[in-house]
Structure 1
Amino acid sequence: MIKKSVFIGLLAALAVLLYKYANFKTIAAGIAILLFGMVLLEEGFKAFTKGPLQNILKKATDKLYKSITAGAFVTAIIQSSSLVSVIAISFISAGLISLSGGIGLIFGANIGTTATAWLVAGFGLKIKIAALAMPMLIFGIIFSFQKKPILKGVGNVLAGLGFFFLGIHYMKEGFDVFKDYVDLSQYAVSGFLGVLIYAGLGIIITTILQSSSATLALILTALSAGQIEYENALALAIGANVGTTITAVLGSLGSNIAGRRLAGAHFVFNVVTGIVALILIYPLAHLVNSISEAINIAATDYTLKLALFHTIFNTLGVLIMIPIIKPLEQALLKFFKEQKDKDIDEPKYLNTSVLKFPGSIISALINESKYLYKNAVFEVVAHGLNIHRNDIESNEKIKQIIKKSDKDLNINIDDIYYKKVKNIYGEIIKYATTAQKELKLNDQQIKTILDIKIANRRMIEIIKHVRELNKNISLSLNLDNAFVLKEYNGFRKKITKVLRIIYLFRKSEESEMYAIKLAHLKKEAKENIRYSNKSIDKLIREDLINAELASSLFNDYTNVNEIIKKLIEVAELLYGKTDTLLDNGD
């Protein structure tokens, strides 16, 4: 309700300004055109995020200096720190990159976004930019109508740049005309009070425009037209940097706890950088004057000096934050705590932010499926055999485990299914289906998502088989029939052996050796399904079991082999491929 009221209030204020000051229309139109250009730029570069860009950002996060460099380089090229932030939040939510790696990308993006100021000050305000914008718009629109995603992306980038420069042109024209009627520079406030007032104004403008780059372009054009004082422009630039944290916070709302931690790091960085820049604004301004003199920037070229100031204080912020990245990471981990019961009824990796890119959604689906398999499904199968999972994961001989596990655990498989499996399974299928429908996937990505859906269906089938088997295993422990008990202990031994090998297959560095063993056991299970059990046949011939027990044994013999076959199939689908997550994004 508050958000809606604020929005209506802003619209009303804009209408009054447009009505009262006719010449303000040109400035407002320039801002709108520039913002539209930035939207097109972001959409255009999204066509290139499916492979190379994702891989660059993922592979550049193993070292801090690499992640900062990658964040700066990519942001400078695509002119969108918000897109880098969205990718970083999406990747960290999906478990593709670490928190420290994501923090490095965010820090680098803040340096990269200073390229916008240089582009506007050094290029957009120095020549008749409208003449260059028009060809970009013409070729951009032509390319944007092409069917191929890459050509369409190129078209959107060209059109975005065209609208971006056209917006600067109209903003500059508007300020040039506007100053004949209203001189905004008369509202300049000198001293530290002015610094605080204009920094706050920069925060407000950026919060409204949802783009620090757009705010900076507005500040530079107003400065170029002499509508604001240089000192106040410096404070506005600092405020714009702090205001951009709102975008990161809003972007993190649909992410999981990892994404919120990254947004928190972004917030801390921009606020700390802003405070330091405000405190040191005058020493930094003197430094800018010295550097400007050394590199032949004219003393009155305030737009280039503002661009230099913007670069210096963002770089200074990164240098200040680098030594405290580890403590910051620890503080974020403590402040944004994982819910203790999240593994019971909520997905751990799936959230709306991972749906931004094919690589992140595939990674999240695989990680969620692995988590479900190694926790809920593994537990159901182990306890369904009346065996503790710790025993399976130990080095104790399986024969001894079966011998000592002679008590009914009284497990309620239906209860575990509804508490730990059903909701997460439903979310996996929902997200997989949404990705197939809404994202442009290549053939390999489509196959990967189909494999994930098959693996999850197999997990549900395993639980159904175990539910039936568990009833008769528990019954055999209480029956006074050594022959039946021996058969069911044989069943338990077979499945326990498979569970242990799967556990080692997941954990061991020698996974290839265990993969071969699993393949052999799966083949054996398939063959057993087609043939009857000789020992059960012998019990029937010698009249050692009645017809009802024989029927149960035959059914459970099939169940056991189905469980073994499907357990191995799921393990192969989820763990049998090495790091296909972003390879599938190429």
Structure 2
Amino acid sequence: MGEVFDTVFGLLGGLAIFIFGMNMMSDCLQKVAGEKMKSVLAVLTKNPLMGVLAGALATAVLQSSSATTVMAIGFVGAGLMSLPQAISIILGANIGTTMTAQLIAFKISDYIWPIVFTGFLISFITKKEKTKYIGQTIFAFGLLFVGIETMGSVMKPLASSPVFTDLIAQVSHIPVLGVLLGTVMTLVVQSSSATIAVLQNFASQAGPDGVSSILGLAGAIPILLGDNIGTTITALLASIGQSKNAKRTAVAHSVFNITGSMLFIWFIPQFARFIQWISPKGNEAEVISRQIANGHMMFNVINTLIWLPLIPLMVKIVKFIVKDKKKIKTAEKLSPYPAKDETESEENLASAV
């Protein structure tokens, strides 16, 4: 019981440090470069391709697709950007967010504490606000990897647990369960980067042979797809109380990830082989973290290439899902049949007479 307690709270503690470090890094980067990113987004959205590039750049710099998506929703709500422009930014944001997984795949465990100390020193000594934010960004970057290392250390015993390995084997052989698991994890944690970091750490644990991954790339991909679906909840929450087009922008984010996941789930073995081909070679347990990062990136790149020429179709879909109330009222007025409440009122009037 003591070992289970240590494992659960070690995992939760490591996840808490990771999320805190990631949010702190994102907040500090937004304070340093947030206004510049807003101007970049406003200028570089004249055509869909430039919008995708602007969204990817902003998210790679800010280290938060949620921040970029919320910016786009805000622009649309304020009437500063059209719906197609905002959708192109969201497509790019999905590519930019894959940079976090790429950073996590680097093995920098020997440099974590020097990074943490350097960041603390800069933020503690300097009096300039901008330099202080840079120091805090470096400090938060180090904390992010402290969380990853903590999660990795407590996950190692799970690799030898028969109960856990049997459970993972079931999930890895039923892709739909993997997608559901990834979706629920991200809905709870509210960060796809955090759940993908957990996935990378867990998949890096070696199986009984000491070489292959306990999960395998084909087992990790469905969970990865679920992570991409779960992350859309942030945009949907940000759109509450916003204009119709702002809500449509958030829905476009969901449509992008859900349709992509529904497509990719049919080609998991082929996609896994493609990712293994473009990724570094070696023992599976050692290279799978990079493979997952590459899988995350290629999913979003391929999905963006599919949707980029179909942005007008995306606009039609989101307008169908989030209808314009004025049009509905106009349709009701033009209808030869009275609305239900109108019929009832007429019947009541007749009975009274």
What TM bracket, shorter-length normalisation?
A: 0.7 to 0.9
Q: Partners in 2 of 1:224 and 1:192 — Cα distance?
A: 15
Q: Partners in 2 of 1:263 and 1:240 — Cα distance?
A: 17
Aligned to 2:166: 186
Aligned to 2:58: 74
Q: Is the 8 A contact 1:133 1:166 kept in 2?
A: no
Correspondent of 1:216 among 154, 171, 196: 196
Could you give the per-residue CA deviations for residues 363-418 of structure 1, whole angstroms, max 9, x where no partner exists?
xxxxxxxxxxxxxxxxxxxxxxxxxxxxxxxxxxxxxxxxxxxxxxxxxxxxxxxx
Correspondent of 2:302 among 316, 326, 330: 316
Correspondent of 2:187 among 191, 207, 215: 207
Structure 2 alignment gaps of length 5 or more = 207-213, 328-353
SS of 1:228's partner is: coil
Aligned to 2:326: 340
Could you give the per-residue CA deviations for residues 224-246 of structure 1, whole angstroms, max 9, x where no partner exists?
12353332211111110111111
1:170 is matched by which residue type in structure 2?
T
Are 2:242 and 1:259 aligned?
no
Q: Is the 8 A contact 2:29 2:61 kept in 1?
A: no
Shift of 1:323: 2.2
Are 2:315 and 1:329 aligned?
yes
Could you give the per-residue CA deviations for residues 513-539 of structure 1, whole angstroms, max 9, x where no partner exists?
xxxxxxxxxxxxxxxxxxxxxxxxxxx
Are 2:86 and 1:102 aligned?
yes
Q: Is the 8 A contact 2:178 2:222 kept in 1?
A: yes
Q: Is the 8 A contact 1:24 1:178 kept in 2?
A: no
Over 3 Å counting, the alpha-carbon distance change for 1:136 and 1:329 in structure 2 is: farther
Q: Partners in 1 of 2:246 and 2:49 — Cα distance?
A: 21
Are 2:277 and 1:290 aligned?
yes
Q: Partners in 2 of 1:309 and 1:50 — Cα distance?
A: 28
Q: Which has the larger radius of gyration?
A: 1
Are 2:110 and 1:128 aligned?
yes
Q: Partners in 2 of 1:174 and 1:19 — Cα distance?
A: 10
Shift of 1:206: 0.3
Correspondent of 1:117 among 96, 101, 107: 101
Are 2:263 and 1:276 aligned?
yes
Are 2:139 and 1:139 aligned?
no
Aligned to 2:228: 241
Q: Partners in 1 of 2:290 and 2:108 — Cα distance?
A: 10
1:160 is matched by which residue type in structure 2?
A
Over 3 Å counting, the alpha-carbon distance change for 1:161 and 1:317 in structure 2 is: same
Q: Partners in 2 of 1:238 and 1:271 — Cα distance?
A: 9
Q: Is the 8 A contact 2:216 2:288 kept in 1?
A: no
Residue correspondence of structure 1 range 54-69 to structure 2 within 5 A:
54-69=38-53
1:189 is matched by which residue type in structure 2?
A
Are 2:144 and 1:164 aligned?
yes
The percentage of aligned residue pairs carrying the same residue is: 29
Q: Partners in 1 of 2:154 and 2:171 — Cα distance?
A: 28
Q: Is the 8 A contact 1:40 1:159 kept in 2?
A: no
Over 3 Å counting, the alpha-carbon distance change for 1:20 and 1:306 in structure 2 is: closer
1:195 is matched by which residue type in structure 2?
P
Q: Partners in 2 of 1:251 and 1:104 — Cα distance?
A: 18
1:324 is matched by which residue type in structure 2?
L
- How many residues align? The count is 318
1:247 is matched by which residue type in structure 2?
T
Aligned to 1:175: 155
Over 3 Å counting, the alpha-carbon distance change for 1:285 and 1:20 in structure 2 is: closer
Over 3 Å counting, the alpha-carbon distance change for 1:185 and 1:78 in structure 2 is: farther
Shift of 1:334: 4.2
Are 2:61 and 1:86 aligned?
no
Residue correspondence of structure 1 range 345-494 to structure 2 within 5 A:
none
Q: Is the 8 A contact 2:172 2:219 kept in 1?
A: no
Shift of 1:182: 6.8
Could you give the per-residue CA deviations for residues 321-374 of structure 1, whole angstroms, max 9, x where no partner exists?
112210221332344244439xxxxxxxxxxxxxxxxxxxxxxxxxxxxxxxxx
Q: Is the 8 A contact 2:15 2:147 kept in 1?
A: yes
Aligned to 1:390: none
Q: Partners in 1 of 2:263 and 2:104 — Cα distance?
A: 25
SS of 1:297's partner is: coil
Aligned to 1:360: none
Q: Is the 8 A contact 1:212 1:243 kept in 2?
A: yes
SS of 1:253's partner is: coil
Q: Partners in 2 of 1:186 and 1:136 — Cα distance?
A: 43
Shift of 1:23: 2.6
Shift of 1:315: 1.0
Q: Partners in 1 of 2:155 and 2:69 — Cα distance?
A: 32
Over 3 Å counting, the alpha-carbon distance change for 1:299 and 1:22 in structure 2 is: closer
Q: What CA RMSD, in Å, does the superposition of the two structures yield over aligned residues?
A: 2.5
Q: Partners in 1 of 2:70 and 2:3 — Cα distance?
A: 37
Aligned to 1:23: 7
Shift of 1:283: 1.1
Shift of 1:142: 1.7
SS of 2:169's partner is: coil
Are 2:137 and 1:153 aligned?
no
TM-score, normalised via structure 2 length? 0.82
2:169 is matched by which residue type in structure 1?
V
Over 3 Å counting, the alpha-carbon distance change for 1:333 and 1:75 in structure 2 is: same
SS of 2:201's partner is: helix
Are 2:175 and 1:195 aligned?
yes
1:235 is matched by which residue type in structure 2?
P
Could you give the per-residue CA deviations for residues 279-326 of structure 1, whole angstroms, max 9, x where no partner exists?
11111112122223xxx4326221111222211111111111112210
Q: Is the 8 A contact 2:182 2:226 kept in 1?
A: yes
Over 3 Å counting, the alpha-carbon distance change for 1:51 and 1:78 in structure 2 is: closer
Shift of 1:46: 2.3
